[in-house]
Amino acid sequence: MTEPQSGATTLDALVIGAGISGIYQLYALRELGLDVQTLEAGSGVGGVWYWNRYPGARFDAESYTYGYFFSKELIDEWDWSEEYAAQPEIERYLNYAVDRFGLRERINLEQRVSSAVWDASSGRWTVTTESGRVWRPRYLVTALGILSAPAFPKVPGLEDFRGEWAHTGLWPADGVDFTGKKVAVIGTGSSGVQIIPIVAKDADSLVVFQRRPNWCTPINNFDITPERMDDIRDRIDEIFEATQLSPSGSPHSPMTESSLDLDPEERRRRFEKLYDSPGLVMALGNFRDVALDKRANDNCTAYIAERIRARVDDPAVADRLIPTDHGFGQKRPPLENGYYEVFNEPHVTLVSTLEESMVRFTETGIETSAGHYDVDVIVFATGFDAVVGSYNKIDIRGENGLSLKEHWEAGPRTWFGMQTAGFPNLFMIGGAQSVTGTIPRITDFQADWVASAVEYARDHGHTTIATTEAAEDEWIDHVNGGIVGTLQEKAESWAFGSNVPGRKRAYLLYAGGLPQYRERVRAATDDDFRGLTFS
Ligand code: N01
């Protein structure tokens, strides 16, 4: 590493983000022998698992399928305590990995990147952080996370509120004490559904502001005994293989059987078994036709509605909690632990903002079109400006000053989600148009691909890797072709940017599944890196 007089650090590669994906990217590029460092905005590593430290935050994927697979030593050394581990354990795991592989000295904490500008004359990026430090890498890899730019409701007056407030995605390190307080939670996505039962336990009163309800299913979590951990280790290759064959990077794949071929009693029995299974089995290991055929989806959805009704005492409240705008599985369903029973508690109120809109925050609470709710604490579980939001927060400029924000104005444009035209030597992992499902299973593949492309360039005397608009168009056609006309396309969610007022609706992820994604990237790579130019 050289430190020129300007104070800029010149190096081979720079990774932005020390979340689970960025940590592995740093490792992969270091293994290549590159002079590589990481910039991280947080005061610690972990990314999403650093910022989302709200009570109740935990995996919805089996812990050992979300963690790293690249190191047998790490698998042997780390014992997961629960099938779906909670945030503190995940944060400990990621810190352990960083130290285990000697990466800490390469991670610069509290360095939020404000701009990244391509300098064609030197073939390097100039990356500046809010603290004024400058890095000049040849290769820049963004591992920003798709859910890392918190979103707030467009409701005025928060500055007037005299109580305490916090967003689940920016949770204070010292926590929030709900004991004996009047609390409001806004939002009933995965984060809201996880935190609400915990708030309800401690708070004096709780009012939940719900816009569109979700189909939530029980997590059915359990402890991992030493015997089970041994068994997981014995089967780890088999488990990894299952994640590679599944569209979602999880060990679960849809059943090939058709639910419509079963008689109604048998079908019901099978839905019952799925509902009572742990984790996302009901979503990811269901009958294939439930995701594809409206009639099959309607049957499954009706069964889950029945289970919700059985858990909620007041039928009018149950009606409000049951979605009518989409069927089960059209969005990734939140996993819950006693969520529906919370609404049977006398100190808990459910407000539908579709019936009673939020007008403003006041000094003492929240005013709605129907009245006022006095609260001491407001929890924003209102999600994220997903996928593109974290890119928009950085002024990224490519060839001839082209701004990434402008290039992506009508929606993201990428080559397999990993490069974008006009931005040479900029790689994205876990970004737009490439991910759904268990994110590390996609990003470890991408991080390895980035390392191999850089190695190829080095071995062939090239210093620049870029893609073209024609290659982007080809990928966009494929991405859109896989979502248009599906049941998933009909649901409004962050995956289409629907939760951000004014955002043009565009599919931000990739619905083709992990095996197809890998196959296509490999085919293009083997075909002389089709869609890329090396110079
Ligand atoms: O965010 P969300 P999230 N007035 O966008 C509501 C992952 N995750 O943080 O649906 C009233 O899903 C909004 O309503 P609507 C997982 O991939 C995983 O919960 O837009 N309400 C919605 O109910 C997940 O999908 C875990 O109508 C407003 C909620 O806020 C993703 O992160 C845990 C509103 C936001 O839900 C995002 O989840 C947590 C308004 N003005 C998250 N604005 C695991 O289990 C927004 N809302 C691993």
User: Do residues 94 and 20 make contact, with C-beta atoms less than 8 angstroms apart?
Assistant: yes
**CA nearest ligand 1 atom 27, residue:** 212
Pocket probe mutation, ligand 1, options 211, 339, 356, max atoms within 8 Å of Cβ: 211
What CA–CA distance (Å, rounded) separates 329 from 281? 11
What CA–CA distance (Å, rounded) separates 169 from 9? 31
- Burial label, 1 (beta-carbon count in 10 A; 0-12, 13-18, 19+): exposed
Ligand 1, pocket residues at CB < 6 Å: 59-60, 147, 153, 168, 186-192, 194, 209, 211-212, 332, 335, 353, 358, 381-383, 494, 499
Ligand 1 centroid–CA 269 distance in Å is 31
Q: Which helix (H) or strand (E) element contains residue 201?
A: helix 190-202
Pocket probe mutation, ligand 1, options 82, 90, 146, 499, max atoms within 8 Å of Cβ: 499
Pocket probe mutation, ligand 1, options 50, 382, 508, max atoms within 8 Å of Cβ: 382
What CA–CA distance (Å, rounded) separates 433 from 472? 11
Report the alpha-carbon angle 41-45-46, nearest 5: 105
Whole-number pLDDT of residue 485 = 82
**CA nearest ligand 1 atom 13, residue:** 187
Instruction: Encode the chain (535 residues) as per-residue pLDDT tens digits.
Output: 444 436 899 999 999 999 999 999 999 999 999 999 999 999 999 999 999 999 999 999 999 999 999 999 999 999 999 999 999 999 999 999 999 999 999 999 999 999 999 999 999 999 999 999 999 999 999 999 999 999 999 999 999 999 999 999 999 999 999 999 999 999 999 999 999 999 999 999 999 999 999 999 999 999 999 999 999 999 999 999 999 999 999 999 899 999 999 999 999 999 999 999 999 999 999 999 999 999 999 999 999 999 999 999 999 999 999 999 999 999 889 999 999 999 999 999 999 999 999 999 999 999 999 999 999 999 999 999 999 999 999 999 999 999 999 999 989 999 999 999 999 999 999 999 997 889 999 999 999 999 999 999 999 999 999 999 999 999 999 999 988 888 888 888 899 988 888 888 889 999 999 999 999 999 999 999 999 999 9
Ligand 1 centroid–CA 321 distance in Å is 15
Ligand 1 centroid–CA 353 distance in Å is 14
Q: Is 65 helix (H, G, I), strand (E, B) or coil?
A: helix
Whole-number pLDDT of residue 498 = 87
User: Do residues 323 and 212 make contact, with C-beta atoms less than 8 angstroms apart?
Assistant: yes
Three-state SS annotation for 103-123: CHHHEECCCCEEEEEEECCCC
DSSP-assigned states of every residue in 366-401: EEETTEEEE-SEEEE---B-TTTHHHHTSEEE-GGG
Whole-number pLDDT of residue 2 = 44
Q: What is the dihedral of CA 185, 190, 194, 196, to 10 degrees?
A: 20
**Ligand 1 atom index nearest CA of 147:** 32
Ligand 1 centroid–CA 383 distance in Å is 4
**CA nearest ligand 1 atom 41, residue:** 153
Strands (E) in 30-163, as ranges, are 36-39, 107-108, 113-119, 124-129, 134-142
**Token pair for 466:** 């870029």
ipTM value of the model? 0.99
- Burial label, 95 (beta-carbon count in 10 A; 0-12, 13-18, 19+): middle
DSSP conformation class of 403: B
With the C-alpha atoms ordered 514, 54, 336, 85, is the resulting torsion angle positive or negative?
A: positive
Whole-number pLDDT of residue 504 = 83
Whole-number pLDDT of residue 6 = 60
